[in-house]
Amino acid sequence: MQMLKDDVVLVTGGGSGLGLGVARYCKAEGAEVVIFEISADKVRQLKEEFGPDALIIQGDVTKLADQLACRDAILARYGRLNALIGTQGIFDGNVPLQQIPLERMDALFDELFHVNVKGYMLSARVFFDLLEASQGAMVLTTSTAAYAADGGGLVYTATKGAVRSLVNQLAFEFAPHVRVNGVAPAGIANSQLKGPGALGLDAQKQSDIPKDAFLSMFRSLSLLQELPSAEDHGPLYAFLASRHNKIMTGQTVVADQGMLNRAVLKGGH
């Protein structure tokens, strides 16, 4: 049986990377997938891949008007929403605080917190009534950076810690009608997570790191040695978003390939 058969699932930030992998998996599990994406180029590519009948919406998760327009489009097409999966995010390039120019601090903070945190808050507010009506679910994306240092720079780490706390508070406020959980990935193959415009890094992506160097670093830290793809995370998101999850809310699943299992690292396994 397909896990999401006949469910309407909205994936925010679903145009590439993790979001696209999750959207593909949810579609394969029988969902009517709605994708909300800011990039016009990615929207065109999504329409080619998912077909003319798919509901692909261009918009900015940080803009209330765009999220309301997305809600209207979902109601017009389907009249309901069963799950919301949030995957959008911006990285900070691992730039240490002391190397961030003082005059860029405000812009960097605003850019990352607006996309990585405010976007999820707006989605929760805008779509709550639809999720409540369907006894549905929200799944938000945090990071292993919320649990241990050096998963990003200071600002990225702060945003991911905030998302982890959002999951706890939203699950409390939305209970018992809407289940709210999080996923904290670590390394993802061909990650499309881009850097911030505030530091002039918006043209760079994590996938620009040489593959061999990234894989070597990953394997030195992780217990499981196969670097997962975006689609590999799909089953976890799909289960948490589905009606089959009757036991979890307010939880963040750390999907780290065992990376955080050891408090002290040593050479080899």
Catalytic residues: 156
The identity of residue 95, as a single letter, is V
Q: How many residues does the chain have?
A: 269
The identity of residue 34, as a single letter, is V
Token reading at 57 = 């919406």
- The beta strands (E) that lie in 61-177 are given as 83-86, 137-141
The identity of residue 39, as a single letter, is S
- Residue 126: count of CB within 10 angstroms of its CB: 17
Token reading at 225 = 């040695």
Q: Provide Rg for the chain, Cα atoms.
A: 18
Cis peptide bond prior to 176, omega within 30° of 0: yes
